[in-house]
Structure 1
Amino acid sequence: MHYGYVGLGNLGAACAGCLVRAGFDVTVTDLDRARAEPLVAAGAKWADGAAAVAGAADHVITCLPSPAVTARVLDEIGPAMRKGATWIEMSTLGRDEVLHFASVAAGHGIRMLELPVTGGVHLAARGEITMLPGGDADLVELHRPALEAMGKRIFHMGPLGSSAIIKVITNMLAFIHLKACAEALMLARRGGLDLGQAWHAIAASSGTSFVHETEGALILNGSYDIAFSIDLALKDLGFAMQFGKEFGVPLELAALTQQTYVAARAAYGGEAQSPMIAKLLEDLLGTDLRAPGFPARLE
């Protein structure tokens, strides 16, 4: 099966690379051609633009930074894709946006499968990220070999729109955990503990979390480099708050965390790494959270 892949940011390049390594025929494009060079060297084909990708491939995967970009790319690929082909959208979107985009795609005679993922770019690079497809069950089965090449665990969440909700939930929890992790590490630091030993103790305790064990290590290194920006975190928290309003669920911790990210954007800029919310606390208290032996990037 020949897949087109549009959008080679941190996540997209990792997932496209998994498809190439698994032996799929893959044609790629991005606004920055340099991002495609490692994939082309590994066996992918390059196409000049999303429409060219759509015309060459059996099915098209997109991984894009915002709903506005998704809308523009869909306008390009929709008329060029083969009737009955599948558009697999891996971007984080709101439920209403997913349903709207699916309707637009249907007007072009193509079917949509939403495919948000969770777990981090480091797991995506290893083909071990968790995949959360939403849409018709037959499409999930049709593309299961590709999903298994890109991810370790696959959870079909239900009809279109279902995956948008669970993806926002998982990201909301990750951001809340990150804020809690920063506060816990600062308590340990100001309490005079060996910070590295404290990190290991927390990791072995009932208070641990995936975020503590991954992003917490990057805080202690001082790189904060999780390959996920403050702006992206605010986008996802905005989706969470919208769902909270729609479903009548008060999201007090999410609201507090959202304000922390707003402050971090004001301090460091929207392109700064999302774990830099910990640096807000470091700067406020004049106390760093460095400890030796922790990685600058997750492998």
Structure 2
Amino acid sequence: MRYGYIGLGNLGANCAGCLLRAGFDLTVNDASRNAAEGLIGQGARWADSAADLAAGVDHVITCLPSPAVSEQVLRAILPEMRPGATWIEMSTLGRDDVLRLAGLAATAGVRMLELPVTGGVHLAARGEITMLTGGDAELVELHRPAMAAMGSRIFHMGPLGSAAVIKVITNMLAFIHLKACAEALMLARRGGLDLGQAWQAIAASSGNSFVHETEGALILNGSCDIGFSIDLALKDLGFALEFGREFGVPLDLAALTQQTYVAAKAAYGGAAQSPMIARLLEDLLGTDLRAPGFPARLE
């Protein structure tokens, strides 16, 4: 099958690269051709527009920054997609957005499969990211080889909209864990502990988390370069709080964490990396969270 991939940011470029390395026929498009140069060098074809891409492939994958952009791209590709084709949406959307856009795709005879992912850009680069899919079971099986090329674990969560809910839950937990990680590291620092040793001790304790092992290390390096912005974190926390209201679940920690990200955006800008929320504590207390031997980026 010939796939098209639209949206070559930190995540999309890595997932598209995994498809190429697995031997898939791939055409790519992005708002900036520069984002595609590495993939073109590996054998991907370039399409000058999303519509041109859709006209030359069997199925289209998108990985985009917002529901508004997803809808804009969908409206551009639908007139060119063949009836029976699949639109595979890897962007993080709200459940209502998923269902609404699936209905729009259906008017052109195109079926939607939602496929948000979790685990971080470094795992996407290795083809080991976790894939959360929602949609018809036969579509999941049809595209399982492509999903297996991009990720090491695939969870079919149920009908369309199901993956949107679990993706928002996992991201909500990650942001809460990151806030807790920053506070824990600052306690260790102000308590006079060696931060490198403290990080190792936490990693070997019942208080450990995936976020501590990954983003915590980047905080100690000072780079905070996780490939995920404060604006994206705020978008996902907004989805989580909407679900809380819809399902009648009080989300106290998510609400507090959202306010921390609002403060970080005011201080450093929405394009800053999401672990920069730790810098708020550093600035407030005049105390840095640095330790030697920690990476600037995750591999």
Query: Equivalences for 1:78-157 in 2 at 5 Å?
Result: 78-157=78-157
Q: In structure 2, how many angstroms separate the alpha carbons of the residues matched to 1:294 and 1:114?
A: 35
Moved over 2 A (4+): none
Q: What's the secondary structure of 1:272's corresponding residue?
A: coil
Partner amino acid, structure 2, of 1:84: G
Instruction: Give the match for residue 281 of structure 2.
Output: 281
Q: What's the secondary structure of 1:3's corresponding residue?
A: strand
1:15 deviates by 0.2
Partner amino acid, structure 2, of 1:69: V
Q: In structure 2, how many angstroms separate the alpha carbons of the residues matched to 1:202 and 1:43?
A: 44
Instruction: Give the match for residue 250 of structure 1.
Output: 250
What's the TM-score once normalised by structure 1's chain length? Answer: 1.00
Q: In structure 2, how many angstroms separate the alpha carbons of the residues matched to 1:47 and 1:68?
A: 22
Q: In structure 2, how many angstroms separate the alpha carbons of the residues matched to 1:289 and 1:5?
A: 39
Q: What's the secondary structure of 2:256's corresponding residue?
A: helix
Partner amino acid, structure 1, of 2:80: A
Q: What's the secondary structure of 2:79's corresponding residue?
A: coil
Partner amino acid, structure 2, of 1:163: A
1:147 deviates by 0.2
Partner amino acid, structure 2, of 1:159: P
Instruction: Give the match for residue 186 of structure 1.
Output: 186
Partner amino acid, structure 2, of 1:282: E
1:249 deviates by 0.2
1:173 deviates by 0.0
Q: What's the secondary structure of 1:60's corresponding residue?
A: strand
Q: In structure 1, how many angstroms separate the alpha carbons of the residues matched to 2:251 and 2:216?
A: 24
Instruction: Give the match for residue 173 of structure 2.
Output: 173
1:197 to 2:218 alignment: no
Query: Equivalences for 1:205-220 in 2 at 5 Å?
Result: 205-220=205-220
Partner amino acid, structure 2, of 1:48: D
Give the number of equivalent residue pairs: 299
Instruction: Give the match for residue 55 of structure 1.
Output: 55
1:240 to 2:247 alignment: no
List runs of 5+ in structure 2 lacking aligned partners: none
Instruction: Give the match for residue 17 of structure 1.
Output: 17
Q: In structure 1, how many angstroms separate the alpha carbons of the residues matched to 2:162 and 2:31?
A: 30
1:195-233 C-alpha deviation (Å, 9 max, x unpaired):
000000000000000000000000000000000000000
What's the TM-score once normalised by structure 2's chain length? Answer: 1.00
1:167-192 C-alpha deviation (Å, 9 max, x unpaired):
00000000000000000000000000
1:32 deviates by 0.6
Question: Percent of aligned pairs with the same residue?
Answer: 82
Q: In structure 1, how many angstroms separate the alpha carbons of the residues matched to 2:35 and 2:245?
A: 38
Q: In structure 2, how many angstroms separate the alpha carbons of the residues matched to 1:32 and 1:203?
A: 39
Q: What's the secondary structure of 1:241's corresponding residue?
A: helix
1:23 deviates by 0.1
Q: In structure 2, how many angstroms separate the alpha carbons of the residues matched to 1:90 and 1:254?
A: 23
1:220-255 C-alpha deviation (Å, 9 max, x unpaired):
000000000000000000000000000000000000
1:27 deviates by 0.0
Q: In structure 2, how many angstroms separate the alpha carbons of the residues matched to 1:43 and 1:20?
A: 7
1:14-60 C-alpha deviation (Å, 9 max, x unpaired):
00000000000000000110010000000100000100110011000
CA-atom RMSD in angstroms: 0.3
Q: In structure 2, how many angstroms separate the alpha carbons of the residues matched to 1:251 and 1:71?
A: 29
Q: What's the secondary structure of 1:243's corresponding residue?
A: helix
Q: In structure 2, how many angstroms separate the alpha carbons of the residues matched to 1:33 and 1:286?
A: 42
Q: In structure 1, how many angstroms separate the alpha carbons of the residues matched to 2:118 and 2:162?
A: 15
